[in-house]
Structure 1
Amino acid sequence: MEPANSIREQLTQFIDKNSMTLSRFSEVSGINTGTISRILHGNRPISVSQLIAISSGMGVAADHFFADYVEECFAYSVSMRRIRPFILRSAELNRLDCIEQILYRLLDDLDYATELFEMAEQLFEQNQRSAAALLYKSVSEVEKYQHSERLAMCQYRLFLIGQGENLEENLRLAILFEPYVDRLDEGYQLEAFKDLIHAFGSVNKWSEVKNFADKMLQLAKIQYNTINISERQNQEWKLTVRPLYFYILYAWLIQSTVFEEQGDYDKALELVGLYASGQSWVREDDDESRRVLKQFEEWATANKYLYQMLSGDINVVKKYANYITQYPDEIFLALRYIIQAANKFNWNIDDILERFSDYIPLRTYKTEFGQYNSSMMDQNYAKLLGELAIYYLNHNRDVAISRILEGLNFSIQKNNDLNFIKYVMAFLEKSFSSENFEDKEKLKLLINEMQRINA
């Protein structure tokens, strides 16, 4: 193929217009005079570094010639030595249009799948997610009939890249990815199960969450029980995103959460004992393992109080409140459950609401142990506002209306239809006069049903 001439023509015109010698342009661009001559005569392709140098010498933007350079990548011969740095630089300068053009030219050619996947992984690690997504999609397209582990990894990365604030969109992407999870390397499978748990859990798909947690537990136990007798011990650890014991403990934590959401607090309490027991069986003894075990022990203590409280034990409410004061980033979540229990058992918790009034706004997604999934935190905040509005309604407080409106606004922003309906119904209940006893009782039943569905 003949080389693209646009870049060379514009460079020639620039040199002529400015009455420059090749030596002078060599000085301003940093390119060897002989190299410039060979480029201008079309005797050699232009490298990406030379393209940037030419742009600098001409005083134009670094990506000025990028659209023209797409043709240069395929001139003389198809060269990944030119294509690879060009894709990486295009990602850096957000020239996704140029990446799309390159990928279109390479479409359906399996020979380039490996290099494109490696570039996608590099971009993913560098947080160039939009550019990485283009490459993952391209590799997925050429390998769609291969049923390969690489195809599964592409789908996993696309699922992660697509996660955002819209819970339903997150779920849609999770459903698309789910058929591929079993094809992933076992180390990535465990982390993928955790990510799927977040996506399905944020929209209350608890049967699916339980299924993923069960699979995570089974796989993590098998790996953990065999790793110490395997000759490939070090390799296995490198393939696991987190320590294997973490996934065992986390699976138990999620299983207890599912039973909690189903209202089976006895089974939830049984599982609390399991993820609190790490000290008795985890073989590792380093800073990371001590940190992880401490966090699960703290969660176990808090959840023991929580499940006793949700079972109707009013005596643990203050114990629970006192315990969570040690963990300011956890107070917001704990308040949601305290208010929920108060509504269920008709308790007065004015003193606790006053004590923790500064923590009711959603301030952070972070904890000492890491960062919560933002979608799940948004869901919890919507639930807290709903429970708080109902609490104030039940206790005839004027502030109920403002809480309802706040909840409505937040639910609309987060596309949370169930909470939207709950707040509307709570607002209608407040609007009924005391004479409308029958209608008001019907509406209360509907509100209780919405609470059950959205719990």
Structure 2
Amino acid sequence: MKSATTIRDQITAYLSEQGLSINQFAIASGINSGTLSRVIKDQQPIAMDHLERITRGMNLPEDYFYSLYVDECFHRSPPTWRRLRPFIERSAALGRLDCVEQVVQSLLDNLVYAPMLFEVAEGLFEQGLWQAAGLLYKNVSLSEKYQNSERLAICQYRLFKIGLGDDQSVNLREAILFECYIDRLNEADQLDGLKDLLDVYYSLQKWAKVNELAEKLLLLATLRYNLHHRSKRKEEHERNPRSPLYVYILRSHLFLSSVCMEYGDYKAAIEHVPQYTEVNWIQEKDDEAKRIIAQFREWGTANIYLYRLLDGQFEVLADYVEYISTKPDEIFTAMYNIVKSANRYGWNIDPILERFSDHIPYRTYTSEFGEYNQQVMVDKHTRFLAELAAYYLHSNRTEGITFILQCLESSAKINNESVVITCVDLFEQFRYIAGDDEIERYKLLIREVHKSNEKKTFQASSSV
């Protein structure tokens, strides 16, 4: 079929080449012959449903005419939301982000379309079509950048979620950008936004920020929980956060306990535990509440063992190991802290490492709330590899070199500079026990780190 400048030209050329009449093609495509005739004669705009039927009738890929359809929607006839919305949604589903971008750029010359585009973006976000949703959110944000609106804040929240990935420097940037907007969200979204920010700052080990946001989450969640149960009148359309309100209170105390642990104040960390395990104040008595309370009590029991272990109390190690052995999804976190304690206090934990060797490779873990946060777990696994490397190298065992290389590869992937420095320091200290192949692998990984840093520097300078 010869190329043509419009969809109508290509339909006409197809009918001529195939020797088909309008009536014959109307039957084949399932379009009313009168409608098809008016479309071909440019007397009627092409609806999205008509475009799909014509494309199938011509045995062409579904998005074959999409680039031309943008022109059809804006230049050959007045733009109508009835045609544009399904076109945006289908373009997103088929990965035609170029078409989504063209439509959005044209529409936002008229700000009346901003709320409608936002609604479509929300639907795409829920479907997991995050790249297309991100394009819409960015453009809606630009159209409202001078407005102190909740819609602008929600756009920034969604862009924050879309932007998170393996690169820790990117995650930090996304968190800083979003944090400026969190107070503009309604209280339900604020709770979820604070929780998501906490996960990111926790993975980045920004403990002062974790402490600040955990206190903020605790205050907001407590106020909202008390108001909810004191109010006799329940709003029918009241917006609810993703989890029950009491969960945000419990999570706040868990974060605050963890901050104390990271600062080395294990006594204070233990004192926080009853705040999320002794919870008679929770008024909900349903099965969900019982499961959640049980999960936090499990974490509390494990954490008391952990805090005592990190405080150097070797006598609790055996009990801790037996306790976590019955909790498969807690074994990795326990092993990380056991190795860290072993390095700090000079303990021999070879039997424990052998017993739980299946949990050394990275894997996902779940709790009552679903999978653990990916950014937190990837970062923790990277640091775990560094601790393992140090443990073996301090007794001059070559397994340590293997773990250094694994750790260096992982820390380069997530752009964790502090762990890269740890790896380089360890390798240079114990280079003498590395084999030639391992040294070459190390050099290759260092080059990859340099390339990653150069790329990050270029991107940062380009965004200024």
For normalisation by structure 2, the TM-score amounts to 0.89
In the TM superposition, what whole-angstrom CA distance separates every residue of 1:98-121 from its partner, at most 9, and x where no partner exists? 111111111242211110000000
The answer on 1:11 being equivalent to 2:7 is no
Quote how far apart the aligned CAs of 1:322 are: 0.7
In the other structure, the counterpart of 1:441 is none
Give, as a single letter, the amino acid of the residue that structure 2 aligns with 1:313: Q
Quote how far apart the aligned CAs of 1:299 are: 0.5
The answer on 1:275 being equivalent to 2:246 is no
Which has the larger displacement, 55-64 or 223-232?
A: 223-232
Question: How many Å separate the matches in 2 of 1:73 and 1:241?
Answer: 38
Quote how far apart the aligned CAs of 1:56 are: 0.8
In the other structure, the counterpart of 1:450 is none
Question: How many Å separate the matches in 1 of 2:253 and 2:109?
Answer: 44
In the other structure, the counterpart of 2:379 is 379
In the other structure, the counterpart of 1:426 is 426
In the other structure, the counterpart of 1:119 is 120
In the other structure, the counterpart of 2:249 is 248
Quote how far apart the aligned CAs of 1:233 are: 2.9
In the other structure, the counterpart of 2:391 is 391
In the other structure, the counterpart of 1:34 is 34
Q: Counterpart of 1:228 in 2: which secondary structure?
A: helix
Give, as a single letter, the amino acid of the residue that structure 1 aligns with 2:408: L
In the other structure, the counterpart of 1:227 is 228
In the other structure, the counterpart of 2:456 is none
Give, as a single letter, the amino acid of the residue that structure 1 aligns with 2:152: L
Give, as a single letter, the amino acid of the residue that structure 1 aligns with 2:117: L
Question: How many Å separate the matches in 1 of 2:268 and 2:234?
Answer: 35
Give, as a single letter, the amino acid of the residue that structure 2 aligns with 1:323: Y
The answer on 1:203 being equivalent to 2:204 is yes
In the other structure, the counterpart of 1:448 is none
| CA root-mean-square deviation | 1.8
In the other structure, the counterpart of 1:417 is 417
Give, as a single letter, the amino acid of the residue that structure 1 aligns with 2:401: I
Question: How many Å separate the matches in 2 of 1:232 and 1:49?
Answer: 46
In the TM superposition, what whole-angstrom CA distance separates every residue of 1:56-113 from its partner, at most 9, and x where no partner exists? 1111111111111112222432211111011001111111111111111112422111
Question: How many Å separate the matches in 2 of 1:360 and 1:320?
Answer: 18
In the other structure, the counterpart of 2:93 is 92
In the other structure, the counterpart of 1:68 is 68
8 Å contact from structure 2 (residues 108, 114) kept in 1: no
Unaligned runs of 5+ in 1: 434-455
In the other structure, the counterpart of 2:149 is 148
Unaligned runs of 5+ in 2: 434-464
In the other structure, the counterpart of 1:449 is none
Quote how far apart the aligned CAs of 1:414 are: 2.4
Quote how far apart the aligned CAs of 1:363 are: 2.2
Question: How many Å separate the matches in 1 of 2:187 and 2:69?
Answer: 41
Quote how far apart the aligned CAs of 1:238 are: 4.3
Regions of 4+ moved over 4 Å = 234-238
8 Å contact from structure 2 (residues 295, 367) kept in 1: no
The answer on 1:352 being equivalent to 2:352 is yes
Question: How many Å separate the matches in 1 of 2:427 and 2:58?
Answer: 66
Percentage of identical aligned residues = 48
Question: How many Å separate the matches in 2 of 1:40 and 1:430?
Answer: 76
Give, as a single letter, the amino acid of the residue that structure 2 aligns with 1:391: Y
Question: How many Å separate the matches in 2 of 1:206 and 1:237?
Answer: 33
8 Å contact from structure 1 (residues 295, 369) kept in 2: no
In the TM superposition, what whole-angstrom CA distance separates every residue of 1:192-244 from its partner, at most 9, and x where no partner exists? 11111111121111111111111110000000001023355364764211110
| 1:49 to 1:342, Cα distance in 2 relative to 1, 3 A | same
Which has the larger displacement, 334-343 or 397-406?
A: 397-406
8 Å contact from structure 2 (residues 167, 413) kept in 1: no
| 1:326 to 1:140, Cα distance in 2 relative to 1, 3 A | same
Q: Counterpart of 2:180 in 1: which secondary structure?
A: helix
Question: How many Å separate the matches in 2 of 1:359 and 1:219?
Answer: 37
Question: How many Å separate the matches in 1 of 2:361 and 2:367?
Answer: 16
Question: How many Å separate the matches in 2 of 1:34 and 1:236?
Answer: 47
8 Å contact from structure 1 (residues 366, 372) kept in 2: yes
Question: How many Å separate the matches in 1 of 2:391 and 2:17?
Answer: 78
8 Å contact from structure 1 (residues 227, 236) kept in 2: no
In the other structure, the counterpart of 2:458 is none
| 1:370 to 1:237, Cα distance in 2 relative to 1, 3 A | farther
The answer on 1:136 being equivalent to 2:137 is yes
Which has the larger displacement, 236-245 or 333-342?
A: 236-245
In the other structure, the counterpart of 1:166 is 167
Question: How many Å separate the matches in 2 of 1:348 and 1:173?
Answer: 41
Quote how far apart the aligned CAs of 1:302 are: 0.4
Which has the larger displacement, 191-200 or 15-24?
A: 15-24
Question: How many Å separate the matches in 1 of 2:366 and 2:399?
Answer: 29
Give, as a single letter, the amino acid of the residue that structure 1 aligns with 2:174: L
In the other structure, the counterpart of 1:22 is 22
In the TM superposition, what whole-angstrom CA distance separates every residue of 1:34-70 from its partner, at most 9, and x where no partner exists? 1111112222211101001011111111111111111
Q: Counterpart of 1:239 in 2: which secondary structure?
A: coil
8 Å contact from structure 1 (residues 365, 374) kept in 2: no
Q: Counterpart of 1:233 in 2: which secondary structure?
A: coil
8 Å contact from structure 1 (residues 70, 98) kept in 2: yes
In the other structure, the counterpart of 1:443 is none
